[in-house]
C-alpha cells in the first residue's frame, strides 16, 4: 500500500507549488484549518505558488478578494490561474468582433469583455441581434432562468455555427457535506449532446490550463517542469492533468477523495499521484520552522 507522506517534506523538494482551490485550500465550510501556515511557510522559504482553478464565475481579482475576506491574504490576483483566463485569451485571439452570448451572472461576463466584443446574456438574444452573435460561452450555473435560457441556447446553437466555450469542465460541485449542485459543465454537456456540435472546454485536466500557468512563470524566469508540483484533491482533474503535463503530483485527502477510498480509486482508475498527503497544511514545530 502507498504510504502517507508528510506535506512539508514533499514541497521542500520543489520550487513552485500549484494548488487546486476547492478541497485543498477551502471547503464549503470555509478555509481548511491551518492552511494559512502553509502559505506563511512558502513565503518564508521564497517558494512560488499558484492557485490553478476550474472557476470562471469571477475574475482573478474577485477570486483573490474572496480569500482575503476569509482571512487569507497570501493569495493575490496574480497568483490565480482560472479557466476564465483561458476563455478570455481565446476570445482575444480568435473572436474579433460581434456579440458573445453567455450563460452566467453579469459579473462572470464582465471580466471577459474586451475591445471589439460585447457580452450579452442568452436571455437578451433575439431576432434583431442573433446574426451578430460570434461566440457562446458557458460561464456559471447562476444568473439565468434554466428552462427558458437553456432552450434558447439549444436553438441559438442549431442556427449559428460559432465557437462554443465551456469555461468550467466540472459537472457538479459540493454545496454542503451532503449536497451537490449541477455545474455549468454538466449543463453544457447535455446541450452539446443535443445539438451534436463540438464545444471547446477549458479547465483541468486539460493541459492548456497547466500550460497557461507555466507560461506566466516563464515570462519572467526560466523554469523546468521538474521544479513544479501540483497539489489537488481530485484524481480525474488535478492529478490526471498534472501527470499528463509532466508534473509531479500530490493527492490530498481533505476533499473529493476520502482517506478510506484513495487506494481503491487509484487502482480502479489507474490515475496515480506521486505522493499522497492527509492535507496541504504544513505542520510547523514550536521553534519557528
15 binds its own copies (CB under 8 A): no
206 versus 238: smaller Cβ distance to its own copies = 206
13 binds its own copies (CB under 8 A): no
Any idea what the Cα angle at residue 111 is, between residues 107 and 113, rounded to 5°? 110
CB of 5 to its own copies, least distance (A): 17
Here's the x/- map for its own copies, 268-287, by CB under 8 A: it reads as xxxxx---------------
Q: Is 67 exposed, middle or buried (0-12, 13-18, 19+ CB in 10 A)?
A: buried
Q: Is 88 exposed, middle or buried (0-12, 13-18, 19+ CB in 10 A)?
A: buried
SS3 of residue 17 by DSSP: strand
DSSP class of residue 2? Answer: P
Among 1, 147, 177, 287, binds its own copies (CB under 8 A): 147
With contact defined as beta carbons under 8 Å apart, do 18 and 213 qualify?
yes
- How far does Cα 135 stand from its chain's mean position? 21
* 36-44, 45-53, 115-123, 246-254 -> range binding its own copies (CB under 8 A): 246-254
CB of 115 to its own copies, least distance (A): 15
180 versus 258: smaller Cβ distance to its own copies = 180
Q: CA–CA distance from 131 to each of 116, 153, 166, 218 (Å)?
A: 16, 14, 21, 40
177 binds its own copies (CB under 8 A): no
45 versus 267: smaller Cβ distance to its own copies = 267
Whether the CA torsion 137, 101, 180, 26 is positive or negative: it is positive
CB of 211 to its own copies, least distance (A): 5
Cell readout for 132 is 451578430
22 binds its own copies (CB under 8 A): no
Q: Is 118 exposed, middle or buried (0-12, 13-18, 19+ CB in 10 A)?
A: middle
- How far does Cα 277 stand from its chain's mean position? 21
Site for its own copies in 60-79 (CB under 8 A): none
Site for its own copies in 85-114 (CB under 8 A): 89-90, 93-94
* 35-43, 47-55, 58-66, 235-243 -> range binding its own copies (CB under 8 A): 235-243
Here's the x/- map for its own copies, 179-218, by CB under 8 A: it reads as xxxx---xx-xxx-xxxxxxxx-----xxx--x-------
159 binds its own copies (CB under 8 A): yes
Please give the Cα distance from 280 to 289 (Å, whole number). 16
Please give the Cα distance from 172 to 183 (Å, whole number). 4
Please give the Cα distance from 6 to 9 (Å, whole number). 5
16 binds its own copies (CB under 8 A): no
Binding footprint of its own copies on the chain (CB under 8 A): 89-90, 93-94, 145-147, 150-151, 154-155, 157-159, 161-164, 171-172, 178-182, 186-187, 189-191, 193-200, 206-208, 211, 225-226, 236, 240, 243-248, 266-272
Amino acid at each position: 500500500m502507498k504510504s502517507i507522506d508528510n506535506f512539508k517534506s514533499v514541497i521542500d523538494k520543489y520550487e513552485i507549488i500549484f494548488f487546486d482551490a476547492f478541497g485543498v485550500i477551502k471547503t464549503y465550510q470555509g478555509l481548511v484549518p491551518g492552511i494559512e501556515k502553509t502559505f506563511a511557510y512558502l513565503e518564508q522559504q521564497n517558494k512560488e505558488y499558484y492557485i490553478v482553478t476550474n472557476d470562471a464565475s469571477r475574475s482573478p481579482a474577485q477570486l483573490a478578494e474572496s480569500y482575503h475576506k476569509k482571512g487569507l491574504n497570501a493569495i493575490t490576483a496574480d497568483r490565480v490561474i482560472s479557466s476564465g483566463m483561458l476563455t478570455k485569451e481565446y476570445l482575444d485571439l480568435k473572436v474579433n468582433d460581434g456579440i458573445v452570448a453567455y450563460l452566467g451572472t453579469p459579473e462572470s461576463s464582465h471580466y471577459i469583455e474586451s475591445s471589439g466584443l460585447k457580452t450579452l446574456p442568452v436571455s437578451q438574444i433575439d431576432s434583431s441581434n442573433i446574426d451578430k452573435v460570434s461566440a457562446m460561452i458557458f460561464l456559471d450555473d447562476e444568473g439565468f432562468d434554466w428552462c427558458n435560457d437553456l432552450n434558447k441556447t439549444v436553438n441559438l446553437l442549431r442556427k449559428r455555427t460559432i465557437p462554443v466555450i465551456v469555461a468550467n469542465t466540472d459537472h457538479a460541485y459540493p454545496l454542503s457535506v451532503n449536497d451537490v449542485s449541477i455545474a455549468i459543465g454538466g449543463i453544457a454537456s447535455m446541450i452539446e449532446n443535443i445539438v451534436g456540435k463540438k464545444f471547446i472546454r477549458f479547465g483541468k485536466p486539460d493541459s492548456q490550463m497547466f500550460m497557461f500557468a507555466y507560461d506566466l512563470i516563464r515570462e519572467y524566469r526560466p523554469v523546468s517542469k521538474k521544479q513544479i508540483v501540483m497539489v489537488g484533491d481530485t484524481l480525474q482533474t488535478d492529478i490526471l492533468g498534472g501527470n499528463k503535463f509532466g508534473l509531479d503530483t500530490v493527492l490530498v485527502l481533505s476533499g473529493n477523495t476520502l482517506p478510506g477510498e484513495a487506494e481503491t480509486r487509484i487502482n480502479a482508475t489507474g490515475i496515480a499521484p506521486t505522493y499522497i498527503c492527509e492535507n496541504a497544511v504544513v505542520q510547523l514545530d514550536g521553534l519557528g520552522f
